[in-house]
Structure 1
Amino acid sequence: MHPIVIIGSGMAGYAVAREFRKLNPEHELLMICADDAVNYAKPTLSNALAGNKAPEQIPLGDAAKMSAQLNMHIEQHTWVKAIHPEDHQLILEKDGQESTQPYSKLVLAVGANPVRLAIAGDASDDIHVVNNLNDYKAFRNNLAAREDKRVVILGAGLIGCEFANDLQNTDHQVTVIDLAPQPLGRLLPEYVATAFQKNLEETGIHFVLGTTVEKVSRANNGDYLVTLANGQSLVADVVLSAVGLQPNISLTKQADIHTSRGVLTTAQLETSQADIYAVGDCAEVNGILLPYVMPIMQQARALAKTLNGEHTAVHYPAMPVAVKTPAAPLTVLPAPVDVDVIWETEEFDDGMLAKAIDTHGTLRGFVLLGATAAKQRLALTKQVPDLIPAAV
């Protein structure tokens, strides 16, 4: 019997391996990854500074530890060059040498890549993205080497705002640039976004909205000159891009696995090719793309059962997302994009609660800003219908 092969050593890949091992201690498992396969929680990267965590304190285990813990062979620094679904075989490359690897079942946990804006200037290659621990180490090393601590962040989405809050808490001077007229534009109604922005601005974070970065250039003294489309210029010591992620679908396209925004799967996490499954940030499940921790855990538990012979659909209950911005405590449960909603709002001394109500009067999402509103999270979550119902 050929091994079950997992491509990718991120949270999704390790979660599937861990859940499968709870059900089946013996079946051969093989993880293949292009990096060093260190296990860590990526969400911790955007608040590690305020938590006083150095990059070397973030890992939960290296490849040797995880291999022993999960009774799994791990191939590090190995590239999957091609998938041949008809032969149940992979083409691998390591140290310049090609080899083949058969599989019985294949799990794609290949994640997502940072969106990179087309930015002019002789310093555009110096713009940091933080999508993994090695990226984060480079970012932190650059921060530590600079005295003035002026950071420009491109993107006022969830990750950009989390990094802004973390950096501001550690005495950096932070400016956030976004083309949208408000932070978290896709998640919040305008008046909640305004209150959220005000809370962050009170800590010293500066927002420049409704414009974008055109050019990043090197100045004579080692600073960066950031030129915006509105004609404004900023001086920075470090520039960080956090404008979003795109599911990694290049490998799957080559294998004729159906894709849209991500790798298309059924509720059983099956792709269009037999015995190939997708999980995590790359997986578009029943048309839903959710790059968050809770969906990954739901996927891993369901897929582990399927891999062990018990065909199981994933269950998506209502899964609120806690945004790591202590200056403006925020929990968001986005309403489905294809549902028309109206917002009902209740204000508190320290924030507000906004409910997304559909045309039938059903609660479909909510936003909780501030500590008072946060206390209603559990009660509200129970009122929201499942995104993908549990199998009967």
Structure 2
Amino acid sequence: MSETGIVIVGAGQAGFQAAASLREAGHAGPVTMIGDEPSLPYQRPPLSKAYLAGKVDATGLFLRAPGFFADHRIACETSVQAASIDRAAQHVRLSDGRDLAYDHLILATGSRNRPLPVPGTDLAGVHQLRSIADADRIQAALAEARNVAIIGAGFIGLEFASICAARGLTVTVVEAADRPMARAVSEPIAAFFRETHESAGIRFLFGNGVQAIEGRDGRAEALQLSDGTACPADLVLIGIGVIPNQDIAAEAGLRVEDGIVVDSVLATDDPCVSAVGDCARFPTRFAAHGTARVESVQNAIDQGRCVAARIAGRATPYDAVPWFWSDQGGHKLQMVGLPIPSDVSVRRRTANGFAVFRYRGTSVTGIETVDSAAEHMAARRIIARGLSPTPEEVADPAFDLKALAMGRGGP
């Protein structure tokens, strides 16, 4: 058994931030991170953007240089998984048979790609994107690819589609919904990015599912679609969402509901166990139904800081504003808040792009911007303060959003 201290299961953004913030908060005891990849903690969002586009190499992904962890006495157990939790004994059993004792356990287990339950996903040329290793395999495959098929028109799929189109490849995106990013963005945003991608030569097949991935000699050759047609594909990316890594928590008797359930300070039902990042379902005033599980760098960082502060004796309820971004086809999409598909959209022109305000009744629930950094920063303040300019004000280009956000006007 190791010396008792803080054990963090997960070496992604949330786990790293919790470890780093514990040291910043003055925590002096042992801190150990458990990661199932061979590398030290790194950023995942650039994998589908700058990394695959060749604009950053692997060293540019790492959150800190190796010396940081030694200097801050953060132990990193790499290439090993947490197999089980013994809450009574307060230790974590590792996949190599070792036990790590803990005073406090932080679950930062993240999420995993949702599998596509059809024949052919094991063929060569079929990929998912979650890790550096995945991105490296895709990068190698791109060198010989001719026909790229992407299953799922979410952020990852569309970011990858942009990279492939820029390389001059034939790209087809298959999506069961009737528009891109249907669960995540408003209709005006979806329409804009559909037009952007189509103008770059990307073909969309909406309202269509995949029945099978067909191959020859063990390699992918085509998608068999639900309408009976075939779509040529020698490189296939499956991007149909993620599933929270909650199994280890459920097996330990902790409550899970599409995520590990935590309270306002990110603690589970067990006071010695917390959960942060993609895997955590937490109460928030920004969610329509009172709780949310948020997959974003912002959420991972802010929750890592929040749980570290609590462990260090400075507990504060988590109330960070959720925000997100995506780079597609030369445009930057930024989003604030947690609107739902039924929320009403009001469009506003900006200097270089446009914004969409989402309304539920008279309340603003989210704000989306395209190529509008200043408006995005104002949007964060507007959502944080719970402000709701009227639809008429939003639609008026003369209405000063920045003044409203800074408290110099509006309601």
Provide TM-score, normalisation by structure 2: 0.84
Q: Does 1:333 align with 2:346?
A: no
- What are the within-5 Å matches in structure 2 for residues 334-353 of structure 1? 334-337=337-340, 341-347=343-349, 351-353=353-355
| SS of 1:324 mapped into structure 2 | strand
- Post-superposition shift, 1:377? 1.6
In structure 2, give the amino acid aligned to 1:331.
Q
- Asked if the contact 2:335–2:376 (Cα under 8 Å) also holds between the matched residues in 1, the reply is no
2:159 maps to 1:162: yes
Q: Which deviations, in whole Å up to 9, do the C-alpha atoms of 1:152-202 show, x marking residues without a partner? A: 111101111111112222333221111010001012222331222001111
- Looking at structure 1, the residues matched to 280 and 85 of structure 2 have their Cα atoms a distance apart, in angstroms, of 17
Q: Report the Cα distance in structure 2 between the residues aligned to 1:243 and 1:375, rounded to whole angstroms.
A: 32
Instruction: State the Cα distance separating 1:111 from its structure 2 match.
Output: 0.7
TM-superposition CA deviations, 1:110-144 (whole Å, max 9, x none)? 11010011112375575211111122222222223
Q: Distance between the aligned counterparts of 2:366 and 2:121, measured in 1? A: 44
What residue in structure 2 maps to residue 149 of structure 1?
A: 146
Give the aligned length. 376
- Shift of the alpha carbon at 1:216? 1.0
Q: SS where residue 264 of structure 2 aligns?
A: coil
Checking the alignment, whether the CA contact within 8 Å between 2:52 and 2:135 is kept in structure 1 is no
Q: Which range moved further: 259-268 or 232-241?
A: 232-241
For residues 156 and 80 of structure 2, the distance between their equivalents in structure 1, rounded to whole angstroms, comes to: 29
Classify the secondary structure of the residue corresponding to 1:239.
strand
1:225-304 residue pairs with structure 2 within 5 A? 225-286=222-283, 287-304=291-308
SS at match of 1:357: strand
Q: Equivalent residue for 2:128?
A: 129
SS at match of 1:353: strand
SS of 1:106's partner is strand
- The answer to whether structure 1 residue 139 and structure 2 residue 141 are counterparts is no
RMSD of aligned alpha carbons: 2.4
Paired with 1:306 and 1:348, the residues of 2 have a C-alpha distance of 40
Are the structure 2 counterparts of residues 320 and 67 from structure 1 closer, same or farther at C-alpha, using a change threshold of 3 Å? closer
Residue 52 (structure 1) aligns with: 55
Aligned to 2:367: 366
Moved more, 128-137 or 306-315: 306-315
Give, in whole Å, the separation in 2 of the partners of 1:205 and 1:349: 27
Match of 1:314 among 309, 312, 318: 318
1:380 aligns with 2:368: no
Q: Counterpart in 2 of 1:390?
A: none
> What's the offset of the Cα at 1:35?
2.0
Unaligned runs of 5+ in 1: 388-392
Per mean C-alpha deviation after superposition, the further-off stretch among 271-280 and 308-317 is 308-317
Structure 2 counterpart of 1:176, from 173, 177, 195: 173
CA distance in 2, matches of 1:206, 1:235: 12
Q: Which amino acid aligns with 1:246?
A: I
Q: CA deviation at 1:244?
A: 0.5
- Listed one character per residue, the Cα deviations across residues 23-43 of structure 1 (whole Å, up to 9, x for unaligned) are 226311111222214221100
Give deviations 1:350-386, integer Å, cap 9, x for gaps.
7532211232x332212223x3x54422223222246
Paired amino acid for 1:362: S
Larger mean CA deviation between 232-241 and 163-172 belongs to 163-172
Opposite residue 306 of structure 1, the aligned amino acid is: R
Q: Partner of 2:16 in structure 1?
A: 14
Q: Which blocks of at least 5 consecutive residues in structure 2 are unaligned?
A: 284-290, 387-411
Query: Which aligned pairs between 1:177-192 and structure 2 lie closer than 5 A?
Result: 177-192=174-189
Separation in structure 1 between the aligned mates of residue 218 and residue 37 of structure 2, nearest angstrom: 35
**1:19: how far off?**
1.0
